[in-house]
Structure 1
Amino acid sequence: MSELDSNPFADPVDVNPFQDASVTQAISKVNEITGEYNPFSATEMGTYTGTTIPVSAVSPSQPAVLQTSVEQSAQATVAAAQTNLIKQQEELERKAAELERKEQELQNRSTSRDSNSGAKENNWPPLPKFSPIKPCFYQNFEEEIPEDYRRICKRMYYLWMFHGATLFLNVLACLAYFTADAAKGVDFGLSILWFILFTPVSFVCWYRPVYKAFRSDSSFSFFFFFFVFFFQVAVYIIQSVGIPSWGNSGWISSISMIGSNLAVAVVMMVVAGFFTVNAVMGVILLKMVHSKYRRTGASFTKAQQEFSQGVLTNRTFQSAATSAATTAAQGAFSSNQGP
């Protein structure tokens, strides 16, 4: 009953769990083994000397390490710059050696050509030996044309050959045009004239100049080629258009024959396509030759100098000038002796 009479609202009895007999016994055993350690006690402080070490004395090498790293980075930058300059100098020396080699090749080629001019025989056009007509020109791409210009020079030669073949096919197409329409005899006659005239003239007027320009790096030959070949491209365009009564089997003439004779129209269209290919290839090769010309260092001033030197050293011009001067001197002397 005493438990039932207790006051439930009374303060509970404070119970310390650490006052338990088992806990107290365990703590006393630990203290006996380890003992109470106080780092600030006199016993523990007696082991130190009491001398204070400054911070600067602790790490005196830190600024030296930074200074060494900065010097190493500066040295690395200087070394990289020197390496770059050495590479640039080697590149310039290589280009200079290449230019010198090309100039030497040109000089050797011109010297050998001059020394062997009498020994070399003309080999173009390649005619048989029994033919009464002998070759008129000497042509050798491997010997006379530098390697950098050899491919473009051969392409110009192939364009000239394609040009001649197109003119020949134009004669056949105009012949078919004439058989289909008797009033187109003018076109057939002009086509024969264009084939006979333009084939050799194109060889002499624009192919040989570009061959000479690449062979001897002649500014005058380059300018002469550009002047003539520009008109040649314009002629290609006119021929591909096919204006009636102009002797060209172009698009206008071929389309006009579709209604009357389809077979002739097809033949004429093929030739018109050939003329168109000539025009396109002419424009492309003109740009390619111009790009090569800009790398050679040629100029209009050099062309004038070459022209003047060529005229003054021409034997025909010299003989004509000498004879004209002699005639004028004799006339002046006779007029003075007359009175």
Structure 2
Amino acid sequence: MSGFENNPFADPASDNPFHDPSVTQVTNSNIEPVDQYNPFPAHPTDSLATHTTPAATSPYQPAVLQPSTEPSPQATAAAAQANLLRQQEELERKAAELDRREQEIQSRSPGGKENNWPPLPKSFPIKPCFYQDFSEEIPLEYQRVCKMMYYLWMFHCVTLFLNLLACLAFFTTDSANGSSFGLSILWLILFAPCSFLCWYRPVYKAFRTDSSFNFFFFFIVFFFQVAVFILQAVGIPGWGNSGWIASFTIIGKNKAVGAIMIVVACFFTVCAVLSVILLKMVHSQYRRTGASFQKAQQEFSQGVLSNKTFQSAAASAASSAASSAAQGTFQGNN
């Protein structure tokens, strides 16, 4: 009878897929379905608000535009006048400073520097005639040679003074040698300043300004100076030089005077040797400077044309020639 109690038209339980245990487990669970899930649950957020950190207040205050206050025309004019007065005072101060410097320059040498050679005391009536400063005016690579030329000139002056003393001693022993003593005085008076002006100062100015003309002038004059040194070292009797020949001539008559003259002859020999060495040194330095004979001619022509004395002489000659020509033309017309 059990078979008749079943409904033949009912769906079998085994054919219903929703009666599967896995499906029924899911449908009967307490988990909310996806379509009913709320991602923002309504839980309290007061506790989070209590833990929030407030933003730090900035120490800088926001810029506030201030109303622009334009100065009045009277204030602008007063400020401009004060500025002009200040500029005028500054210009007057600078003008006074320039006048003072110009007076100082005019009171100095033509080179714009106060002369310091020869080093004479300020109370001395004669003032220095030249300005000389190796460290300031001479380039570093030429200072050694230039100083050696200066020391050679000083050594030459000392030798001339000793030669005068030797000739004086010789004159005291033999009054017939008065001419040698007189010539020794002449050589000291003549050669000491002339050697300074004719070959030392030209080589100093040549190294200072890299002047080809001064180099050539120095070489011409110093060549004759070397010849003079050699003649003084030789010591021809009666020429006022205590050289080797004069020393050996007198040593047989008076040994003391002969010994003094031999010392002076040694000094003249040292002068001759040093002059030859320094001449070669200056020539080697001259070749490094790039000087030439063409540059010397240009410097000479420029110096002559820029010389005020030459300009005045040329102007006077031109004016006299023009006046004479005009006078001749006037007489010819008459």
Q: Which category describes the TM-score, using the shorter chain as reference length? A: 0.5 to 0.7
Name the counterpart of 2:304: 311
Name the counterpart of 2:179: 186
2:132 is the alignment partner of 1:165? no
Output the amino acid matched with 1:263: A
Query: In the aligned structure 1, how far is the partner of 2:319 from the partner of 2:238?
Result: 52
Name the counterpart of 2:88: none
If each structure's helix is expressed as a fraction of its own residues, which one has the higher value?
Answer: 1
Name the counterpart of 1:129: 122
Name the counterpart of 1:324: 317
Q: Partner of 1:186: helix, strand, or coil?
A: helix
Query: In the aligned structure 2, how far is the partner of 1:233 from the partner of 1:319?
Result: 38
Within the candidate set 230, 248, 257, 2:250 is matched to 257
Query: In the aligned structure 1, how far is the partner of 2:275 from the partner of 2:324?
Result: 53
Query: In the aligned structure 2, how far is the partner of 1:239 from the partner of 1:259?
Result: 21
Name the counterpart of 2:195: 202
For structure 2, the residue ranges without an aligned partner over 5 or more in a row are 1-104
Q: Give the Å deviation of 1:259.
A: 1.2
Query: In the aligned structure 1, how far is the partner of 2:293 from the partner of 2:111?
Result: 32
Query: In the aligned structure 1, how far is the partner of 2:253 from the partner of 2:112?
Result: 60
Q: Give the Å deviation of 1:317.
A: 0.7
For structure 1, the residue ranges without an aligned partner over 5 or more in a row are 1-112
Cα deviations across residues 193-213 of structure 1 (Å, max 9, x unaligned)? 010011000000000000000
Name the counterpart of 1:298: 291
Name the counterpart of 1:154: 147
Equivalences for 1:1-339 in 2 at 5 Å?
Answer: 119-338=112-331, 339=334
Cα deviations across residues 272-309 of structure 1 (Å, max 9, x unaligned)? 10000000000000000000001111100000000000
Using structure 1 for the length normalisation, give the TM-score.
0.65
Q: Give the Å deviation of 1:331.
A: 1.3
Output the amino acid matched with 2:209: S
Query: In the aligned structure 1, how far is the partner of 2:321 from the partner of 2:260?
Result: 62
Output the amino acid matched with 1:219: S
Q: Give the Å deviation of 1:328.
A: 1.1
Cα deviations across residues 93-135 of structure 1 (Å, max 9, x unaligned)? xxxxxxxxxxxxxxxxxxxx9xx95641111111111111111
Name the counterpart of 1:29: none
Q: Give the Å deviation of 1:233.
A: 0.3
Runs of 4+ in 1 over 2 A off after TM superposition: 116-119
Using structure 2 for the length normalisation, give the TM-score.
0.66
**RMSD over equivalenced CA pairs, Å:** 1.7
Query: In the aligned structure 2, how far is the partner of 1:181 from the partner of 1:256?
Result: 13
Cα deviations across residues 35-82 of structure 1 (Å, max 9, x unaligned)? xxxxxxxxxxxxxxxxxxxxxxxxxxxxxxxxxxxxxxxxxxxxxxxx
Query: In the aligned structure 2, how far is the partner of 1:169 from the partner of 1:292?
Result: 32
Using the aligned pairs only, state the percent identity. Answer: 72
Q: Give the Å deviation of 1:310.
A: 0.5
Q: Give the Å deviation of 1:152.
A: 0.5
Output the amino acid matched with 1:278: C
Q: Give the Å deviation of 1:223.
A: 0.5
State the number of aligned residues.
227
Query: In the aligned structure 2, how far is the partner of 1:262 from the partner of 1:196?
Result: 28
Q: Residues 118 and 296 of structure 1: is their aligned pair in 2 closer, same or farther, counting only changes over 3 Å?
A: closer
Q: Partner of 2:253: helix, strand, or coil?
A: coil
Q: Partner of 1:298: helix, strand, or coil?
A: coil
Query: In the aligned structure 2, how far is the partner of 1:206 from the partner of 1:322?
Result: 33
